[in-house]
Amino acid sequence: MESCRIGWRRLATGVYGLNGVLETSGADLTRMHEIHVLGASFGVQAAVSAMGESGGAIVNVASIAAYVVRARSGAYSASKAAVEHLTEFQAVELGPRRIRVNVVAPGMIDTYMLSSLTGEPAMLRSAMEPVPLRRIGTPGKVSDAVLFLLSDAARFVTGHTLVVDGGGPRR
């Protein structure tokens, strides 16, 4: 994992940083936007190019952070909200080409990003309290949602956000 300024961590799905409103620099905001929003935009462009005329399905990755407002996560949350909104535009524009575009919004998933909670039992219990299923998800649960959105079972679903979070609160 690559460490960056102010606690940034490079992750398989992007970057995350805990920066307060007054500490977040233009470079921090730009990095978050470049990785999440531009990544989703250019990724879709590449996928469409590879699909040709046959159509298909694309799934972007956002986060429940797009809905949940927590101190020191504004840059990350705003970039994930932008990915969700961008997906809606991509779905509208690519629908006539028989291309469906959806987005998954994972909640607390057992990944490196969540390691600060999983190492602290009291913090983990506190975080799970408002989640009806009372557990964190696994990467496999997210991939199941992605596979559903890519499958024929979702052939009439586009521009949709599938939240994968065990039923947690959104606000």
Catalytic (active-site) positions: 76
Report the distance separating Cα 114 and Cα 23, nearest Å.
22
Listed residue (163, 137, 139) closest to 65, CA to CA: 163
Query: Are the CB atoms for 113 and 11 separated by under 8 Å?
Result: yes
Report the distance separating Cα 137 and Cα 123, nearest Å.
16
Report the distance separating Cα 145 and Cα 137, nearest Å.
12
